[in-house]
Amino acid sequence: MTVDAQVSQEDVASIVAQFAQILAERRAADASWADEAIHGLWRDLIELGAQDLLTGAAEDGLALPPAGRLALAREAGRVLLADELLVNLFLLPGLIRSIADPATRSEYARRHSLVPGFILADIRQGLSRPDQPGGSTPFVAGVRAGCDAYALVARGDAFQLQRLAPSDYRVQRSPALELPHATITVPTSEPGEGRTSASLELDLRQWQELAADYRVMAAGALCGVADEAIRLAVAHAQVREQFGRQIGSFQAVKHLLAGAKAGNQAAWSLCVGQQAPADSTASANRAWLLGVRAVRESAEVAVQVFGGMGFTWEHPAQRYLKYALTAVAVSGGPESVGADVARAFRVDMSGTGGEVAPILDDHAEERALREQTRAALATLDLGRSGADSFARRRDIDRLLAEHGLLNLTWPAEYGGRGLGPAHQAVLESELAAVGISVAKSPARIGINLLGPSLMAFGTPEQKDRFLGGIASVEQLWCQGFSEPEAGSDLAGIRTRARQEGTDWVLTGSKIWISQAHEADWCFLLARTGPEGERHHNLTMFLLPMTSGGVSVVPIRQATGESEFNEVFLDDVRVPSSMVLGPVNAGWRVAMTTLTSERSYGQFNRAMVFRGLLDELDQLCIRAYGGRDHSRLARLGGLVARVSAIEALARRSLRNPDEAAELAPVMKLWWSETFQELTALGYETAVTADTDVDVWTTRVLDSRASTIYAGTSQIQKNMIAERFLGLPRG
């Protein structure tokens, strides 16, 4: 089977499908992947041309794009062959192509096309430097009988690729982990008969770039391992019954699997969003770190869901767990990689201030938008607490409105600029750079939540009356959805509306209503039909907060602030002209609003969190001299998590078809990241005896993040039921 080297999008999909088919057929013949099966598979893949497509060695010089390479890596992970395949399809060919002497290069390539190999190199440090001659290399992956052993060695500033003789090395396997990896010891004595050596036209920078590319692909392969572990567990949960029900209907099982899925989606987003080459090693390490964590969590969850059978030697679940443990060992442990990630972040922030990679394909257009935003913000005097007051935040919104920035994604017919979500992300990143969080914008509820619903469902009169005032920040809005008995269960709303003539009369109460004490208007849901129908008898109303019978009671939060309110409605009259959308179709209108609520502001949030990480790093330096390894590791883990928020946002922007599936993942991921970040910040502030009050407020504030806009538990239910296909309870 051969593949057309003209690699189009369609060809990429075809190549990946052929690759997956070959793996599936070979695995069906030998699920344990005995050594001889690897050699047969290698012949199949050479015939497919997979090696040439990964390295660009095809006759016409074309190669698979990064997305295609990652897709192949993920398929290799699904069948637990990532190490063998990535080393042989990508890393070794890349080194062989760097051999200086043409005859030697040809001989090495010919040999490698016949016999797969494994390589000795320091993968615990992200393949950032080659091994020195002599000594032992622990946890070398993909060690197979009948395969060639290669060593990458440094001699001064030059590199050599050596093909070792069997007498040159000793293999010590770990029988408990079962999978093919080993500790390789290369004696320092004279090389054995049969060893060959080839000088490489490769400098340290080129090696680091090749190694970083390999590491990202390895992280993508770990996502494939995690995907398959989750798939097996989900399939089991859909059919296994206990207590007369499928175990997948139990919320505890759903949440285990949804949490694993979210972690894997975050890791995969870092892989596909890799930015190269400026920070390739650092970003590759971030992807690898989350990949290792995702595969371990997914494998452990799979064993847990399968129960006792998953712990038996014959069951595949335990093999995924062993693979995950091997990945941890090969990486040198997440703590080591995490510390490296933290150090790289420190260098990045001190050098560039954490400059954001381009978001738009048109870089000139992006520069123009950034310059316009910076010019508008230059008139602001923003100290450390400059944007903390409500009045100050409203002034900022008005400034943005004056410069046509506040509603830039609105269609031109409604006073906007007709730009897309990616332009909004550019704006958000500039606001974050000066410490402005769009999550606290007073205009956000009208601009981002009500605005899209008005455009979709509003009457011409409603649009004329409200959209202009929302865009100019002359009208502030609040959202009246939650009630004492209907928080996450939005369909459980009890506020009622009865029709009297041309008016509706509202009775009930709303709670947890942000900025209700400052708002001019409220859009709210009320029940307009029999309670038994739940989703189908709700109606959306537009309510002036000055209406008779409306009373607002601020709720003092744990932080001492009062951003939330309880709103009581005592026979409040609303004219029929203030019904948004059809009567009894409020659920459909509300879904438009909620989709905007969960997807909005992710870029800004990632940039704000990056600023908090920088503050936290400075605290760590003051508290521990910046040398506490475990603290650095925790900080590095948070750097990777925050990077994944940005990567998820970029992925959602570039792939709108994935946006709905990614929305609950993003909400779950950023809210739990915020809590981890502020917890470490508080602990460090206490140790440093610096900014304790600031971090106390932050850690308290973060507790609400997993509650509002849909609790973490609701997000996990959505992931489990809508995207994993688990049954409702």
Residues annotated as catalytic (active site), given as ranges: 597
Q: State the greatest distance between any 2 C-alpha atoms of the chain, in Å, as a whole number.
A: 101
For tokens 């206490």, name the residue. Answer: 686
Half-sphere exposure at residue 351, Cβ-oriented, CA atoms within 13 angstroms: 9
Residue of 291, 300, 239 whose CA lies nearest to 270: 291
3-state secondary structure 539-559: EEEEEECCCCCEEEEEECCCC
Which segments within 215-369 are labelled E, that is strand? 241-242, 245-246
Please provide the DSSP assignment of 464-511 as one string: HHHHHHHHHTSS-EEEE--BTTBSS-GGG---EEEEETTEEEEEEEE-
Q: Which 3 state secondary structure label does DSSP give 497?
A: strand
> What's the sign of the alpha-carbon dihedral 354, 358, 359, 364?
positive
Residues 306/98, Cβ–Cβ less than 8 Å = no
CA–CA gap between residue 617 and residue 615 (Å, rounded): 5
The CA radius of gyration of the chain, in Å to the nearest whole number, is 29
| Token pair recorded at residue 498 | 């009865």
Q: What is the signed CA dihedral for 144, 150, 152, 158, rounded to 10 degrees?
A: -170
> Strand, coil or helix: what is 524?
strand
| Residue 189, H or E segment | none
Measured distance CA(569)–CA(554) in Å, rounded: 15
- In order, the DSSP letters of 328-364 are HHHTT-HHHHHHHHHHHHHHHHHHTSSPPPP-SS-HH
71 closest CA partner among 269, 221, 289, 216:
221
Q: Could you check whether the bond before residue 334 is cis, i.e. omega within 30 degrees of 0?
A: no
